[in-house]
């Protein structure tokens, strides 16, 4: 199985691009954000706890998302691999992912990082707020906290994956089609 990670700050376009890539390469899309929003909608205990954290622009605990990922890996069949979107988001999650995959003697195939500047994050998320109605998109202070969380907790993964020789970066500025081409150029190699 192939395990691709679509990496980047909130609002970089991971979800949009993931949808196209899973079709092109017969992968299963796992978005931890989408999985968490489903739990919130269903009103589960996990969802209730996650809601407060998400709407403050914080991360949910590592164990929560790690458990979600492992059960998706086990339950989804008939694909050539997985495209992870929004996971891992901390070094601890990256290490946990390596351990989960090591159980079946597998490993991360490649990381594709979509890069955009902070100001563009705010513009894009504010625009998305009107379309998708996410509470964590509606307030500029929450968006700023998510950006800060990204820089402090998620960005250090870049060095982690560079050290593992798995890191690939594409420019996230441009049209959806232009960015998609850049991502496909990387994924075609694997
Ligand atoms: P975005 O890419 O715009 O931040 P996501 O849908 O990926 O949107 O995530 C929304 C929120 O869900 C995050 O701000 C965070 O609170 C929570 N979340 C998603 N994935 C993770 C994760 N891997 N670890 C911890 N929290 C997560």
Per residue of the chain (190 residues), give pLDDT as tens. Answer: 999 999 999 999 999 999 999 999 999 999 999 999 999 999 999 999 999 999 999 999 999 999 999 999 999 999 999 999 999 999 999 999 999 999 999 999 999 999 999 999 999 999 999 899 898 999 999 999 999 999 999 999 999 999 999 999 999 999 999 999 999 999 999 9
Q: What order of strands is seen across the sheet that includes strand 2-7?
A: 27-31, 81-85, 2-7, 110-115, 167-171
DSSP 59: P
Distance, CA of 49 to CA of 60 (rounded, Å): 8
C-beta neighbour count of 97 within 10 angstroms: 22
- Cβ of 86 closer than 6 Å to ligand 1, yes or no, is yes
Instruction: Retrieve residue 57's tokens.
Output: 């622009």
Predicted pLDDT at 83: 98
List phi, psi (to 5°) of 116.
Answer: -140, 150
Predicted pLDDT at 130: 87
**159-to-58, 95, 154, 162, 163 alpha-carbon distances in Å:** 22, 13, 10, 5, 6
- Cβ of 35 closer than 6 Å to ligand 1, yes or no, is no
- Helices (DSSP H) in 43-189: which residue ranges? 45-54, 62-75, 91-102, 118-132, 140-149, 157-163, 176-187
CB under 8 Å to 114, separation ≥6 — which residues?
A: 6, 7, 8, 12, 13, 14, 17, 170, 172, 179, 183
pLDDT digits (tens, 9 = 90+) for 7-62: 999 999 999 999 999 999 999 999 999 999 999 999 999 999 999 999 999 999 99
Q: Pick the atom of ligand 1 nearest to 34's CA.
A: 6
- Cβ of 146 closer than 6 Å to ligand 1, yes or no, is yes
């Amino acid at each position: 199985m192939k395990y691709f990670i679509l990496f980047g700050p909130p609002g970089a376009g991971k979800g949009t691009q993931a949808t196209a890539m899973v079709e092109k390469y017969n992968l299963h899309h796992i978005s931890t954000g989408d999985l968490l929003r489903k739990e919130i909608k269903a009103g589960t205990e996990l969802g209730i706890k996650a809601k407060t954290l998400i709407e403050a622009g914080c991360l949910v605990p590592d164990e929560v998302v790690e458990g979600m990922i492992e059960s998706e890996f086990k339950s989804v069949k008939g694909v050539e691999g997985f495209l992870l979107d929004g996971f891992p988001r901390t070094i601890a999650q990256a290490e946990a992912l390596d351990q989960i995959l090591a159980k079946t003697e597998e490993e991360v195939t490649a990381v594709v990082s979509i890069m955009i500047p902070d100001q563009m994050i705010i513009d894009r998320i504010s625009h998305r707020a009107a379309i998708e109605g996410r509470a964590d998109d509606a307030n500029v202070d929450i968006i700023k906290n998510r950006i800060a969380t990204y820089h402090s907790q998620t960005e250090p993964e870049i060095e982690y994956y560079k050290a593992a020789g798995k890191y690939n970066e594409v420019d996230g500025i441009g049209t959806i089609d232009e960015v998609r081409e850049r991502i496909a150029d990387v994924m075609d190699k694997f």
